[in-house]
């Protein structure tokens, strides 16, 4: 591990209290980044930040934020700048899922998923870019990193709204890359497949509840057997290297890309 690879990167990560967001925060700090962990769950985000600070490489602060609120995105950016002097990278990771068959989707399901996964990404990108523009252009690009999904590319009938929201993340990545280039800001993303996190553990139960699967664990087995080239599910550690690459200067000449880390699902 290169403990200085991300030195000088001050990063806001949304949804960083657990799951992939927390793993990325820990990993980025191990590589020298300073991280601001934003989440609805402040206690859990603070516990992650305390662990990072105890290790003594990159520094960490935690902020309570609801990503669907513009003012919370603005204050999380401000907290990053207050703690570390400036912001270099925004990683828009907060997200959720609640499966419904097409004819069972209602406005509550639609609004909840679209607000957190897509609208909030736009708000976070905009508020972070606003600060980056105010800081002025650097010799290296500022970076916005969007978390997509296999559902950014595959129509999955049991999670139509989630797919809609994650196709939206892909569009925000493409349009943001074009719209923000003149300010020295790149926009890229990564798209996991099945990652064992609290989100997927809940999804596994919900898929049984809506009658899409007969028993818990079946969704994992079916996907590994039928859709993946690499015959196992993944874990946040499988994703953190790509996230760190997109955060690092190794990706400075990339923009508008969504990298799939999905065991080969997207080519099926
Ligand atoms: N787990 C997977 O298989 C998988 C696959 C593809 C994409 N993703 C995406 O990866 C990202 C992270 O997923 P995960 O599996 O680590 O999820 P997770 O549920 O483990 O963690 C998500 C975090 O986001 C926070 N959050 C949710 N709503 C929020 C809000 N309104 N404001 C602030 N924070 C909020 C939660 O408190 C939680 O800490 C999400 O965007 C998800 O859609 C996950």
Q: What is the mean pLDDT of the chain?
A: 97
- SS3 state of residue 96: coil
DSSP β-bridge partners for residue 35: 11, 60
Q: Are 88 and 8 in contact (CB under 8 A)?
A: yes
DSSP β-bridge partners for residue 100: 159
Q: Are 241 and 172 in contact (CB under 8 A)?
A: no
- pLDDT tier at 2, thresholds 50, 70, 90: confident
Residues in CB range of 62: below 8 A, 6 or more apart:
16, 36, 37, 38, 39, 42, 45, 46, 48, 49
- SS3 state of residue 141: coil
Catalytic residue chosen out of the listed positions 162, 167, 220, 235: 162
Identify the H or E element spanning 131.
Answer: helix 120-135
Q: Are 62 and 46 in contact (CB under 8 A)?
A: yes
Q: Name the DSSP letter for residue 153.
A: T
96 Rama sector, left if φ>0, alpha if ψ -120 to 50, beta otherwise: beta
Q: Are 62 and 42 in contact (CB under 8 A)?
A: yes
With the most atoms of ligand 1 within 8 angstroms of its CB, the residue from 36, 62, 67, 96 to mutate is 96
**pLDDT attached to residue 268:** 85
Average pLDDT over residues 31-49: 98
Q: How far apart are CA 203 and CA 139, in angstroms?
A: 43
Which tens digits make up the pLDDT trace of 25-34?
999 999 999 9
**pLDDT attached to residue 3:** 86
**220 carries an active-site annotation:** no
Q: Ligand 1 center to residue 86 CA distance, Å?
A: 25
Give the percent of the chain with pLDDT over 70: 100
Sign of CA dihedral 28, 65, 148, 146: negative
- SS3 state of residue 248: coil
pTM for the structure as a whole? 0.98
Q: Are 99 and 153 in contact (CB under 8 A)?
A: no
Which atom of ligand 1 lies nearest, measured to the CA of 17?
39
Q: At what angle do helices 120-135 and 70-84 cross, to 10 degrees?
A: 40
Which tens digits make up the pLDDT trace of 159-205?
999 999 999 999 999 999 999 999 999 999 999 999 999 999 999 99
- pLDDT tier at 1, thresholds 50, 70, 90: low
Domains of the chain: 10-194+236-262 (3.40.50.720)
Residues in CB range of 71: below 8 A, 6 or more apart:
none
**pLDDT(108) > 90:** yes
């Amino acid at each position: 591990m290169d403990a200085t690879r991300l030195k000088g990167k001050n990063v806001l990560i949304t949804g960083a209290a657990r799951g992939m967001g927390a793993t990325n925060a820990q990993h980025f700090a191990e590589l020298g980044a300073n991280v601001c962990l934003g989440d609805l769950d402040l206690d859990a985000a603070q516990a992650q930040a305390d662990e990072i600070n105890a290790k003594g490489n990159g520094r960490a602060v935690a902020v309570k934020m609801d990503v669907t609120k513009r003012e919370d995105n603005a204050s999380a950016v401000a907290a990053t700048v207050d703690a570390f002097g400036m912001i270099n990278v925004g990683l828009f990771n907060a997200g959720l899922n609640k499966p419904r068959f097409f004819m069972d989707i209602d406005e509550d399901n639609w609004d909840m998923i679209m607000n957190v996964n897509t609208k909030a990404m736009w708000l976070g990108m905009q508020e972070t870019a606003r600060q980056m523009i105010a800081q002025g252009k650097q010799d290296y690009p500022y970076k916005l990193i969007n978390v997509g999904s296999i559902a950014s590319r595959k129509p999955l009938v049991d999670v139509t709204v989630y797919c809609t929201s994650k196709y939206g993340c892909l569009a925000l990545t493409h349009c943001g890359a074009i719209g923000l280039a003149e300010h020295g800001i790149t926009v890229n993303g990564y798209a996991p497949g099945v990652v064992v996190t609290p989100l997927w553990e809940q999804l596994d139960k919900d898929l049984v509840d809506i009658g899409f699967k007969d028993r818990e664990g079946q969704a994992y087995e079916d996907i590994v057997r039928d859709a993946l080239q690499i015959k196992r599910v993944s874990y946040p550690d499988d994703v953190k290297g790509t996230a760190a690459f997109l955060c690092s200067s190794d990706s400075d000449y990339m923009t508008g890309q969504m990298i799939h880390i999905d065991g080969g699902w997207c080519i099926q």
